[in-house]
Amino acid sequence: MIKGIGTGLYWTLWVSGLCTGIGLLACSSKDDTQNSKLSACSSCAAEKCPQESATCDQSAKCKTLRSCELACASGDSACQNKCVNAAASDSNAIVAAANLLQCASTACSSACNGSGGSTGSGGQSSTAHGGTTSTGSGGTSTSGGTSATGSGGTSSPPLQCENLLQWATACVVSTDPVFRNCNTAPPTLCQAGCYENATCDEYTQYKSAGTGDLKTCLTACDLGSGATLPANCANAKAKRLLCGITVDLACSDADPVDQCLNKCALDYPCDQWEPPMGQPPTAYQNCSNGCDASVGATSPNFVVSEGGYVTTLSWQGYAWTATDGKSATTITPTDFSTLPAGRQLCASGTVPGTADYSAVAMLGFNLSQEAAMPGGTAPAPSTWTPLDTNQIYGLTYNITNRAGTPLRIQIQGPAGNTDPNQRWCADVSGQSGSIFWHTFNTQCWEGGNGTAYNGVDSLQSIMVLVPGDIASRSFDFCIYEI
């Protein structure tokens, strides 16, 4: 295989300045001066590159392509593309022409300089990968494949095509449209890099099945340029690659959790995936952290046993629901005594509007309570103490709020049912997040003037609370974990 040379449209631009063999017939309509130049180029190529010329002469497609190209006006990419399309099925013809190009452009640079491609003022330049260029009035000629144009001249093809065409030639795929049309429809630098870093087998897989690492890389380029794509596993994998994550995660387009995760990945830009150190979770993290919860899955860190008994890290106790007891608030279920093991804790209902905002609904669980013996009564709850005098800890939450109702998390001491100074609340922001102990306050609402929780007072329960308003509120939420 020839190194340092690309096939496709780059050599077609050069060969339009070379008349050899049957190609001489295509030059008969040119003026005598031009024919003389083409003849000199042809003779030199036949003398200096006999093997390459003979090989091209033995290939019908190579001769046809050579003749066709010579009939095109210099710089007429549309005409040249048609010529290449006619020979696209014969990779041997392409390689034969590429070999002839490399030899003649070096051995016959003087004789072939300007043949078939020289124009007057306002003309176009004829360029070649590895070839020689000729320019119109006001321009200069250079060798080595660069283009210098005169007044009104055309510019050279995009630089990324050169290495791309070398790669395509090595894989014997240089006749494929994406490479053959590179100078008129060049891929982006990102896409060109995907091809060049791929193996030939990966390209074959991509062409036959539309999958694989090359497909992932190209899709990542599309996403990086702002394309909107469906939220499926393949596109989410490409988005992770774009964001610098190369770990290949198991994913199924039929899995509801994966469907949710894929949508989160495609909905948020890479710079929102990780929060700055010490900052709360990002919107992307809140989205992805809530996917298990949104489809009814349970958390391994928040285990709900039969009857609604919760075990989570150092907390354990029964779950319950409650209302303010004064308004017409409704809540379902009224308890979790019949809840099977392995379910989420969920509650729904309505909090009516009241003038003093006093109506509330709650779903909570005790923090320190032994489980009941079979057929027995649950022991009374005890208390748990964080002993966090530095106020650097708190709790995390993941709550699926299907109704979008404003929610709060409330922590409560042993006398919290009657003593407002033993209950502290904080607003829930988004589906998941973290709340420091000092954020909890006895009056967490706007305009409140309460006392912050000190991080050391004993607690008996934690609950998710639906606060009342002047207007009625319907609610429907589930606790994935707290």
| 383 confidence band (pLDDT: 50, 70, 90) | very high
Collect all residues with Cβ–Cβ distance below 8 Å to 192 and sequence separation of at least 6: 160, 161, 163, 164, 186
**pLDDT of 216 above 50:** yes
At 433 the pLDDT is 87
- Find out whether the peptide bond into 467 is cis, omega within 30 degrees of 0: no
At 422 the pLDDT is 98
At 285 the pLDDT is 80
At 81 the pLDDT is 63
Using alpha carbons, list the distances in angstroms from residue 358 to 182, 325, 361: 70, 10, 10
* 3-state SS assignment for residue 95: helix
pLDDT digits (tens, 9 = 90+) for 82-117: 666 666 667 677 777 767 766 776 777 676 554 443
pLDDT digits (tens, 9 = 90+) for 341-370: 988 999 999 999 999 999 999 999 999 999
Q: Amino acid identity, residue 252? A: S
At 49 the pLDDT is 83
Would you tell me how many other CB atoms lie within 10 Å of the CB of residue 475? Answer: 23
* 463 vs 146, more confident: 463
Question: How many residues are given for the chain?
Answer: 482
Q: Amino acid identity, residue 181? A: N
The burial class, CB within 10 Å (0-12 / 13-18 / 19+), for 143 is: middle
- pTM for this entry: 0.51
Share above pLDDT 90 across residues of the chain, in percent, rounded to a whole number: 47
For 178-184, what is the mean pLDDT? 87
482, 464, 432: which is closest to 360 by C-alpha?
Answer: 464
| 315 confidence band (pLDDT: 50, 70, 90) | very high
